Amino acid sequence: MIPKPFIAKWQQHAPWKEFAQVEQDLIISRTLVEIFSDEFLRENLAFRGGTALHKLYLNPAARYSEDIDLVQIKPGPIKPIMERIGEVVTFFEEKRTTQVRGHGAKALYRFTSEYEEIRMRLKLEINCKEHFNVLDWVNFPFDVESEWFSGKTKIRTYNINELLGTKLRALYQRSKGRDLFDLDYSRQNIDLDYEQIINCFKEYTSFATGKRPPSKKEFLLNVEEKENSTEFTGDMEALLRPEIKYNQNEAFNWLKIELIERI
């Protein structure tokens, strides 16, 4: 789908070991420009999740992330949005598959990588439930300069503290070490407001569960389980740039002292 020399050149923007990862990064970048250059989609969607964090706020990305997570920011049917995405993202050679279930919608794009000739996918997922934001929207300038594709746009996304508030919720609700890494790496590279992060965490957790947010004690017990979980600690393998050094024990200590202590 993309000529090999263009993929090799893109490695300066996406410094991953595997060319398949570099290729996917370029595909993600083009997809984002195509989506947020469309007025209808820009009015209805916001970019969130680990890929948003690393493609926008932490660029060049410290951690490899392969999915695009979006949020439908206004109530309404998701079908017109899915149809419009199908009309603007047209560069894939294979037909996409879509699924709408519960409060979410997915589009899967499959392709074969040029160098390794392995089957790859781009998953685009839309949260169709959380039609709110706690802090002001951010319109983040984003551009792609490649011989395969060039374009620029402004991506609607969340304030960094709100983005990390949802990361903190993800850390509490699931067992993926990447969530802790994202929080820890962000605090080392961005000036953060911990009170805003905690406030956003509480708002999103309450909305998702319909209950009060977890107490300090409940969160500490949750973290203790993760500290002893091989599933949690093994989640980071092959995801970081080679030169990135990460101390998970230090990250846990920071989490407990600087964030959970404020709950």
Q: What is the pLDDT of residues 168-186, one digit of tens each?
A: 999 999 999 999 999 999 9
Give the mean pLDDT of 22-47: 98
Give CA–CA dist 26/28, Å, rounded.
5
Residue intervals in the chain for CATH 3.10.450.620: 4-158
Provide the mean pLDDT of the chain.
96
Residue-wise pLDDT for 192-251, tens only, equals 999 999 999 999 999 998 999 999 999 999 999 999 998 898 777 778 998 899 999 999
Give CA–CA dist 258/199, Å, rounded.
14
CA-based end-to-end distance of the chain: 49
Residue-wise pLDDT for 84-126, tens only, equals 999 999 999 999 999 999 889 999 999 999 999 999 999 999 9
Per-residue pLDDT, 253: 98
Domain 4-158 carries which CATH code? Answer: 3.10.450.620
DSSP classification of residue 214: P
Does the CA dihedral 50-63-4-109 come out positive or negative? negative
DSSP classification of residue 23: H
Q: Is 185 helix (H, G, I), strand (E, B) or coil?
A: helix
Per-residue pLDDT, 142: 98
Q: Which of 83, 87, 88 is nearest to 98 (CA)?
A: 83
Per-residue pLDDT, 64: 94
Give CA–CA dist 7/258, Å, rounded.
41
What are the start-end ranges of the H helices in 140-229?
160-173, 177-189, 194-209, 216-227
Q: What are phi and psi of 205, to 5 degrees?
A: -65, -45
Per-residue pLDDT, 81: 98
